[in-house]
Amino acid sequence: VGGRIRPVHPSELATHNKKNDAWLAIRGRVYNITHYLPYHPGGPEELMRGAGIDATDLFDKVHPWVNYDSLLAKCLVGPLRFDRPDAE
């Protein structure tokens, strides 16, 4: 909903692991997949395997050809960040 893009620490990503609040990371970008879950062709349960984590490997094992960045453009939260969790 037009929120601003900002970095996400893995510890924050990990808290978004529920069906009504699900984020995942692919190749360093964090997406809010909550609203995409019902539309995932592989089903919500499959997609939820990646919730709260870096799902790059899971994603690539199944369908490396899928253009996730385009499909989830509106769902981008921001880059995955490993340092300075409290800094801006």
Applying CB under 6 A, the residues found at the interface with ligand HEM are 36, 40-42, 46-47, 49-50, 55, 58-59, 62-63, 66, 68, 71-72
Give the nearest distance from C-beta 51 to ligand HEM in angstroms: 8
Which residue, 6 or 35, has its beta carbon nearer to ligand HEM?
A: 35
Q: Which residues have a Cβ under 8 Å from the Cβ of 18 and sit 6 or more positions away?
A: 51
Which residue, 6 or 60, has its beta carbon nearer to ligand HEM?
A: 60
Give the nearest distance from C-beta 23 to ligand HEM in angstroms: 11
Which residue, 30 or 47, has its beta carbon nearer to ligand HEM?
A: 47
d(CA 22, CA 50): 9
d(CA 88, CA 74): 23
Longest dimension (CA), the chain: 38
Give the nearest distance from C-beta 35 to ligand HEM in angstroms: 11
d(CA 84, CA 62): 33
